[in-house]
Structure 1
Amino acid sequence: MILQTEVLDRTQQFVESLLNRQLPAHFTYHNLKHTKEVVAAAQVIGTRSQLSEHDLETVLLAAWLHDTGYCFRIREHEEESIRLAKEILTEQQVEEVRLNQVVGCIAATRYPQQPQNILEEVLCDADMYHTASEEYMERAEQLRHEIMEISKCVISRREWAQNNREFLKNHRFFTEFGQTEMEVAKQKNAKKLKKMLKEMEEDYSEFPMDVEETYKQINRIDKDREKEKDKEKQEKKKDKKKKDPNTPVRGIETMFRTMSANHLELSSIADNKANIMISINSIILSIIVSVLGRKLEEYPNFTIPTLILTLVCLGTIIFAVLATRPNVTSGIFTKEDVYKKRTNLLFFGNFHSMKLDDYEWGIKEMMKDSDYLYGSMIRDNYFLGKVLGKKYRLLRIAYTIFMFGLVVAILSYGVAIVFFPV
């Protein structure tokens, strides 16, 4: 079980995204698979080397980042890996001491390996873990093809086997776990190479045939790439046929989104204005009932002005309430309505009484038909506009009644005081 922490999770996500997006396809060995193998090996070797959880986390960070430089260059790729490590770990506010340890571990993987401490030794052994793996022959072959692709030269299997045998002979592990258990497995792979070379020496036709096969392999890779490119082009052409190239899809979606947001904002403003009118006139009515109503016997000349003011407040409240009163439809649609595109499933009033399965079916049918979908969005915006028009029309009447009615009521109080004193 590989150690999981927040900084490790973020680093893993960064590395996986980077390698999947930017690592060239000809890296058949130094790819995401290799990185994951090194991380897993670092976990095993670090645990067997009795590293603390803090030190193990440091080594695993370096393991995830040690080959990211291949996305940018091959020679001195460790320098690019170190640069990326500093950027991503600094963003995660990793302390400077640990950052320097990670940098040291990555630098130590540069061949020939020269680790200076146990953390660097663990990562160096993990980076060479494939030499002690049962998949060594397969991984070595992948590395051969990678080198041929990069260097644009042919390496025969016999030459490659000789180089690998020499490499295994000169290579040494640094950790105690590597020098004991991993070394034994590595020697088994060395024996396999020796046997393979002996078989090749008995067959003198292998070398030229292998060169020819290698060229064929390279040509096959190139043809596969050309096929992939042709396939991508065909898919793009199909997409262009499905979509009108003159239609700005993103612009249309932005337009609908903006229109809906504007309508909702205007509706909210109208409701707030109506609430203000209702609140103000409710307060005035409560004052009329509680205060002026008791004084009308003493001041009968205020009866008509008070009646006018009461009617003004009631009229204003009525129209303000009408502006905010919801109008809910039956909320039911039929399959025929969907097939004939007569119902707008984007408006809750058309489906609030339906079962989930029926509504889900209707939405999926609408999603299959772009004309139906865009038509529903157009109708949705249209009817939102109609509702807004009604709201603001009623709200305007309410404000007009309040404005002119309040003036008339105040004037009537003035007339009552001046011309009809008690």
Structure 2
Amino acid sequence: MNLVQKSEGFVRDYLAQNLSPDILYHNITHTERVVHRVVELAQWENCSAEDKELLTLAAWFHDVGYATQFENNEIVGAQIAEEFFKSENLAADKIEKIKSLILATIPKSEPKTLLEKIIKDADCSHVGSEYFFDVSTALKTELELHQHQKIKSTEWDQGNLEFLDEHQFFTTSAKENWQAQKDKNRLKLEERIREREEKLADKKRSRKMGRGVETMFRVTLKNHMDLSAIADTKANILLSINAIIISVAIANLLPKLDSISNTFLVYPTMVLLFFSVVSIILSVLSTRPNVSNVHVTREMIKNNQSNILFFGNFNKMSLEEFEWGIEYLIENQDTLYNSLTRDLYFLGLVLERKYRLLRITYNVFMIGIVLSALAFVVSYFMIAEVS
């Protein structure tokens, strides 16, 4: 078994044992593709047998670092390759050449030698292939899993377009054989972006024309606000009534309890005061505001994770961030409608809590009045019988 075959076997086993299943692009399939493209370019560029071997060895190891870490994986891959080739007693100068070829695949690095240009072009050969969009989808999913964040298709396509504009093939062979397909892919990507923008524009126009959506949100939110005001009014009424009851009890009943002849009033008065205090506490809880302590970021707004239309969410934002968020909502109606929907939903949750506490308060108040009245009547008759 020659060194290339040993390298292939080592990389296949290493990736199979250590590579995360979330790595959907930088896997063994991509490595095989790069190896194939390296051999192809080396033949077109009339490289020597030794150079072909070095390129093939570097291609097998160029992405093995992804099994350890996502960022700066090329450095890790070069270290793994160095350890492997030392164990195979490969000459030190060849190991250094292989390491430099692996490091040449670092994004935005500038290749200097012909071999570095070859492996650089092979690593990005998908941009000049018919399977460019399939590879792009796999890479998008891989980044989403790594970043734990959804990437919008519009942003991804625009980023791909910018990448194609910045990318260039370095070898003459790659330019002659792959540039034409790359240009086709770019045109197809532009067309897809344009079609998506037209659909989005049509969608926005249809929403602007449909005033029923705005009317629905406006009327529903107004109804919820009216219900909230009614709940606050009812709570204030209960709060006032119980405050008056406590004031009257303290002013008129408590001074009379010093007299032995009025001891029968102690328990009824305590019952009345207890239920009045509980009613006041529940009334306060039903109207007490609850402001969020979450600091809303631009990423949260973009991902529909917050609603800055509610003051409780944007109170910790700076003026600049808030202005940016409002402009973003105006420009992205999907996010705007989502914010209105979230506002309506959470307002409903607040109303549910208010009316639940209000119902409990009314029940407590009613039970307290009944028990207090019964306590006064029972105590009066008991003292009458004793007399």
Distance 1:75 1:206, change over 3 A: farther
1:266-285 correspondence to structure 2 within 5 Å: none
Return the letter of the residue paired with 1:145.
T
TM-score (norm: length of structure 1): 0.47
1:39 matches 2:38: no
1:145 aligned to which of 135, 141, 147:
141
1:12 matches 2:33: no
1:202 matches 2:198: yes
Return the letter of the residue paired with 2:47.
L
SS at match of 1:124: helix
Distance 1:52 1:37, change over 3 A: same
Question: Which position in structure 2 is the counterpart of 1:91?
Answer: 87
- Inter-partner Cα distance in structure 1 for 2:165 and 2:42: 25
Question: Which position in structure 2 is the counterpart of 1:58?
Answer: 54
SS at match of 1:203: helix
SS at match of 2:200: coil
Return the letter of the residue paired with 2:121.
D
- Inter-partner Cα distance in structure 2 for 1:51 and 1:108: 18
1:166 matches 2:162: yes
1:153-202 CA deviation, whole Å, 9 max, x = no partner? Answer: 11111111110011001100111111222111111110110110111011
The question of whether the paired residues in 2 share the 8 Å contact of 1:158 and 1:207 is answered with no
Distance 1:204 1:115, change over 3 A: same
Unaligned stretches of 5+ residues in structure 2: 205-302, 305-387
1:78 matches 2:56: no
1:69 matches 2:65: yes
Shift of residue 207 of structure 1? 10
Shift of residue 40 of structure 1? 0.3
Question: Which position in structure 2 is the counterpart of 1:122?
Answer: 118
1:379-394 correspondence to structure 2 within 5 Å: none
* 4+ residue runs over 3 A deviation: 205-208
Return the letter of the residue paired with 2:22.
H
1:249-300 CA deviation, whole Å, 9 max, x = no partner? Answer: xxxxxxxxxxxxxxxxxxxxxxxxxxxxxxxxxxxxxxxxxxxxxxxxxxxx
1:298-338 CA deviation, whole Å, 9 max, x = no partner? Answer: xxxxxxxxxxxxxxxxxxxxxxxxxxxxxxxxxxxxxxxxx
The question of whether the paired residues in 2 share the 8 Å contact of 1:8 and 1:61 is answered with yes
Return the letter of the residue paired with 2:158.
Q
The question of whether the paired residues in 2 share the 8 Å contact of 1:113 and 1:124 is answered with no
Shift of residue 98 of structure 1? 1.0
Shift of residue 206 of structure 1? 10
Shift of residue 113 of structure 1? 2.6
Question: Which position in structure 2 is the counterpart of 1:28?
Answer: 24
- Inter-partner Cα distance in structure 2 for 1:188 and 1:26: 30
Shift of residue 205 of structure 1? 7.8
1:205-235 CA deviation, whole Å, 9 max, x = no partner? Answer: 8999xx89xxxxxxxxxxxxxxxxxxxxxxx
Question: Which position in structure 1 is the counterpart of 2:104?
Answer: 108
In the alignment of these two chains, the number of paired residues is: 207
SS at match of 1:174: coil
Shift of residue 127 of structure 1? 0.1
Return the letter of the residue paired with 2:190.
K
- Inter-partner Cα distance in structure 2 for 1:94 and 1:149: 38
SS at match of 2:9: helix
- Inter-partner Cα distance in structure 2 for 1:123 and 1:205: 42
- Inter-partner Cα distance in structure 2 for 1:150 and 1:206: 34
- Inter-partner Cα distance in structure 1 for 2:13 and 2:32: 13
- Inter-partner Cα distance in structure 1 for 2:139 and 2:202: 20
Return the letter of the residue paired with 1:150.
H
Distance 1:128 1:207, change over 3 A: farther
Return the letter of the residue paired with 2:194.
K
Return the letter of the residue paired with 1:168.
L
Distance 1:206 1:6, change over 3 A: farther
TM-score (norm: length of structure 2): 0.52
1:322-341 correspondence to structure 2 within 5 Å: none
The question of whether the paired residues in 2 share the 8 Å contact of 1:35 and 1:64 is answered with yes
The question of whether the paired residues in 2 share the 8 Å contact of 1:16 and 1:32 is answered with yes
Shift of residue 142 of structure 1? 0.5
- Inter-partner Cα distance in structure 2 for 1:69 and 1:42: 19
Return the letter of the residue paired with 1:93.
N
